[in-house]
Structure 1
Amino acid sequence: MAGRDARHRGRLWFWLPVGLVLAILAAASTAYLLDRGDEPPPGPAAIPPPAGLVLPAVRTPAPVAEPASGTPDPRAVRRAVAGPLADADLGPHVVAVVAALDGTPVYQDGSGTVTPASTLKLLTATAALQVLGPDHTFDTSVVRDGRNRVVLVGGGDPLLSAGGLRTLATRTAAALGAGARPVRLGYDTSLFTGPDVSPHWPPTYVPEGVVSPIQSLWVDEGRDPDGYGRVPDPAATAAAVFAAALAKAGVPVSGAPAATTARAGAQPLATLASQPLSRIVEHTLETSDNEAAEVLSRHVGLATSGQGSFEGGARGVLDTLAALGVPTRGAVTYDGSGLSREDRLDPATLTSVLETAGAAEQPALRSVLTGLPVAGFTGSLEVRFDATDPGRGFVQAKTGTLTGVSGLAGIVTDRTGTPLLFAFLADRIDPIDTLGARSALDDVTNALAACRCGTAGTVAP
């Protein structure tokens, strides 16, 4: 990483306390938009003011804090983390990397590649933003395929909801016109190919409700609407929800929905766009959403090779990152979520991804950083870090957890105001020590937050 091109020296790091404010605001707006069940209302700019009201010009507010800066001292970093990393609860295989914002290694301990668990989602999210762009949306559509036949076509919207399908049904009914005759309903999932469940996952994952079969059409990520778990055929469930909504909108549906492939040139009737990819990425990272990550991986596969499969997605993610200059040597991945225990990464790949996402010349990747959970406040870190922990609010990190595996990868700002990238992964944890290992990794990042590791920064209050 030290030899990265000089173009990576410019950074757009506006971290804590600025980063904390932005992350919480982004999380709140994302949750609001994703929970609505349909498209968001028009923004303020689209609504004209009342007649006679003169509004002042919008001004750009001044920053609430200086950007985090400073040069970390490797010796100080080593003194801070060596003790917590030696915690026996972490097991015999712990690999740690700490780097400066320009990617320069500051501390490394342990060797070999490690099972990344959900920290792999950082790679998937970055690749999706790079190949598709932060404003990209995924369309679920309805087409007329014959005189009295309509087809619901899955566009790979990872967060398509029941409310969204009701909106789409209303639009479809309007397009068909008043007094529409009964229609037969088909549903098309041909966008994605290959198996719906990875052969590199334990066979218990779907029946135990760990993850849904990955399809280009579903509702509420394939979760069972009647209780815990996942439905065996998410697309069929989504089609049934749509059929009921279509009937309620005044278009009766004859028979049960049937799986099909819409013919080329079928007449478009209605479309529902997803939220922008940037917001989907923030949601995926904040909540560690396995289903969303797998769908995004397949979209990367489609964009890079035309193969919307587990294999195409995994290959496309690594190829995209390599093209960005991220080191991927030793990486072996079989999915986009990190659910496979066969996935392997060098933790330096994770710190390089974070470095790249913060580069001034990569604004399209910004939501990788704004989507990171904030210690003690949001997402998968909401219930971690006590009020007295120095890392609370000063650590933003992606978590990674499987049985026997625990990891954290993100950014921390130390007591001198110096920001540090880090990746700490342990993958041979005794299951009985699961909670202890998680606490141990929190202690490592707490040690960095409490450290005066910077040689030239603004001292934190």
Structure 2
Amino acid sequence: MARRDARHGSRRARLLPLVALLVLAVAAAAAWRYDVLDRWLEPDRPADPAAIAPPEDLALPPAVEPAAVAEPLAAPGPVAAAAVRRAIAGDLRDEDLGRHVLAAVAPLEGAGVLVRTGSGSPLAVPASTTKVVTSTAALLAMDPDTVFTTRVVEDGARGIVLVGGGDPFLASEPPDAPDAPDSSDGPVWPERADVTTLARATADALAAEGRTRVRVGYDTSLFSGPEASPRWRADYLPDGVVSPITALWVDEGRPAEGFGRVEDPALTAATVFAGVLARRGIEVVGVPRERAAGDGAVELASVGSAPLSQVVEQVLEVSDNEAAEVLLRHVGLAAEGEGSFAAGRRGVVRLLGEAGVDLGRSVLWDGSGLSRQNRMDPAALLDVLRLAAADEHPRLRAVLTGLPVAGFTGSLSDRFDTGAPEGRGRVRAKTGTLTGITSLAGLAADREGRLMVFAMFADKVRVEDTLEARDAMDAAAAALGACRCG
């Protein structure tokens, strides 16, 4: 997602909970939108509603036992190709989508593609649907409970070093601070570690040792290689479309005031850290300097990120470019022993291949989908989504729960307002938008509960048709939710 995307007794029985996942997500989304969740999360409230006594003057009618269900609901039949084609054909022929439109739809259960439409090149620019691939690889590479730790270590006579651990959501201040970038009336999710809290703990540790004067260094050596993909447009960094990708930053490299990105995110993070030390009575000698911590450095303090599963959910829900690129670096570290763009790309291909997903002729140069040189076969994305839903890979479930719900959450909260209204809440999908490109990929449950995976790409959209093209693609996905595709 670039800056213009900011708006933006069988196996069958075991898959049925995913239908509930789609339906319950709507209720959860409604709870979030209407501030019900805030009340649920307050720690001083009883967890069990039965523990809350009703008002004394409340009169309730006697409980009525529900009638027994005579027989269980029959499972829906298989997905029919002809019904799917009828559902999506009209919207995908919309001229606003341009002259190169690819789509693939298949049952969630099984393999292969049921319906494939489009002509010309079998590959298209996937834009931010790339994040589905990156997130899946990250969960294959690491445990869902993995936490990324930012540390402060003593480095002998050279002072202390702030060591970046690749926490994508490391903040400058606690979320309840008045000037915190994410401050709001509601809770910040996922929870963020912050360098202010880390600096305070460091100051306390130094004071306990009787030290009141230090030099501050910062270490970004966890990641290597260029801070920008060589396959990005040259103006992405100078124009503040995306931050330089580094193992240490705060607020994803965004400035405390204004727009865009800071030029040196790691130095900015170290400067914030040093400023808090000074306010806590620790004199900082000079300015922070970049240097690697020594092998024998002793830890003074640390803070940990939210677990990887929550990071993945956030990346997918709001289409976070910077965090997706950090995840790609972690894939490189875990799979290839190197935190670079190149190692991350190799790791994605290897891990998915070992899990049974062949990306075929697809080529992905980054983790976020910002590169206009990325190419993907929509059928490959179907296989990635199926992998995330597979019974044998429960660790990948955050890929599904992170997909925005059509019309309710994340980058789909203000979409799906055209097309079949029955599609709202029955579709969960990752959006993708670059200039001239719109894409959508995810899950749909039709009106009788048939589960499908789909991927739709249009990469020749006229700029003046951007919104209309997006609506047409939303309508095609909504039609899957509205149809009776048996």
TM (norm. structure 2) is 0.82
How far is the alpha carbon of 1:434 from its aligned partner?
1.0
1:353 is matched by which residue type in structure 2? V
> Contact between 2:325 and 2:368, CA under 8 Å: does it hold in 1?
yes
Structure 2 residue 89 is matched with structure 1 residue 89: no
Please give the alpha-carbon distance, in whole angstroms, between the structure 2 residues aligned to 1:108 and 1:217. Answer: 43
**Match for 1:301 among 326, 332, 345?**
332
Deviations 1:401-454 (A, max 9, x none): 111111000111112221211100111111121111101101101221221113
CA offsets 1:238-288 (integer angstroms, 9 cap, x no match) = 000000111222322111000101110111111111000000001000000
**5 Å matches for 1:211-360?**
211-360=242-391
SS of residue in 2 equivalent to 1:159: coil
Equivalent position to 1:109, from 104, 109, 117 = 117
Equivalent position SS for 1:258: strand
Alignment counterpart, residue 26 of structure 2, candidates 9, 14, 20: 20
Structure-2 separation of matches of 1:182 and 1:107: 68
1:435 aligned partner: 467
Residues 312-461 of structure 1 correspond to what in structure 2 (within 5 A)?
312-386=343-417, 389-454=421-486
Q: Which runs of 5+ in 1 are unaligned?
A: 1-5, 33-39, 50-64, 455-461
Amino acid at match of 2:393: Q
**Which amino acid in the other structure matches residue 118 of structure 2?**
G
| CA offset digits 1:12-53 (Å, max 9, x no partner) | 523331243356779999x99xxxxxxx999999xxx9xxxx
For the Cα contact (< 8 Å) 2:25–2:425, is it kept in 1?
no
CA contact (8 A) 2:212 2:281 kept: no
Relative to structure 1, the CA distance from residue 201 to residue 42 in structure 2 (aligned partners, 3 Å threshold; closer, same or farther) is: farther
1:118 and 2:128 are equivalent in the alignment = yes
Q: CA deviation at 1:73?
A: 1.0
Residue 314 of structure 1 aligns to a residue in which SS? Answer: helix
Deviation track 1:386-409 (CA, whole Å, cap 9, x = no partner) reads: 287222111110001111111000
Equivalent positions of 1:155-166 (< 5 A) are 155-163=165-173, 164-166=194-196
Q: Is structure 2 residue 168 aligned with structure 1 residue 168? A: no
Amino acid at match of 1:173: A
Within 2, Cα distance between the matches of 1:67 and 1:41?
42
Tell me the distance in 1 between the aligned counterparts of 2:76 and 2:344.
36
The match for 1:177 among 191, 207, 213 is 207
CA distance in 1, matches of 2:387, 2:430: 16
Looking at structure 2, the residues matched to 362 and 108 of structure 1 have their Cα atoms a distance apart, in angstroms, of: 27
SS class of match (1:157) = coil
Contact 1:70 1:417 in 2 (8 A): no
Secondary structure at the counterpart of residue 285 of structure 2 = coil
Question: RMSD value over aligned CA atoms?
Answer: 2.7
- Name the amino acid aligned to 1:168: L
Q: Equivalent residue for 1:78?
A: 85
Q: Is the Cα contact below 8 Å between 1:286 and 1:373 reproduced in 2?
A: yes
Matching residue of 1:52: none
Distance 2:45 2:284 in 1: 36
State the Cα distance separating 1:209 from its structure 2 match.
2.0
The count of residues paired between Structure 1 and Structure 2 equals 423
| Inter-partner Cα distance in structure 2 for 1:44 and 1:266 | 45
| Residue type at the aligned position of 1:406 | T
Shift of 1:147: 3.3
Choose the corresponding residue for 2:107, options 100, 103, 121.
100
Q: Secondary structure at the match of 1:15?
A: helix
Match of 2:55 in 1: none
Residue 290 of structure 1, CA deviation? 0.2
Whichever residue aligns with residue 328 of structure 1, its letter is: L
1:55 equivalent in structure 2: none
Partner SS, residue 416 of structure 1: coil
Percent identity, aligned pairs only? 53
Give the residue type in structure 1 aligned to 2:458.
Answer: A
| Matched AA of 2:141 | V
* Aligned partners of 1:211 and 1:230 also within 8 Å: yes
Specify whether residues 307 and 72 from structure 1 end up closer, same or farther in structure 2 by C-alpha distance, changes over 3 A only: same
Residue deviations 1:202-227 (CA, integer Å, cap 9, x gap): 11112222110000000000001121
CA contact under 8 A between 1:10 and 1:359: conserved in structure 2? no
For structure 2, the residue ranges without an aligned partner over 5 or more in a row are: 1-9, 52-71, 174-193
Distance 1:349 1:224, change over 3 A: same
Post-superposition shift, 1:327? Answer: 2.2
Q: What is the letter of the counterpart of residue 321 of structure 2? A: N
Partners of 2:215 and 2:74 in 1: how far apart? 58
- State whether residues 243 and 252 of structure 2, in contact with CA within 8 Å, keep that contact through their aligned partners in structure 1: yes
- State the one-letter code of the partner of 1:15: L
* Kept after mapping to 1: 8 A contact 2:29/2:408: no
Q: 1:341 to 1:248 in 2, by over 3 A?
A: same
Q: Is the 8 A contact 1:141 1:154 kept in 2?
A: yes
Distance 1:43 1:167 in 2: 27
**CA deviation after TM superposition for structure 1 residue 84, in Å:** 1.1
Are the counterparts in 1 of residues 135 and 312 from structure 2 also a CA contact under 8 Å?
Answer: yes
C-alpha separation in 1, matches of 2:325 and 2:31 = 26
CA displacement at 1:10 relative to structure 2: 4.9
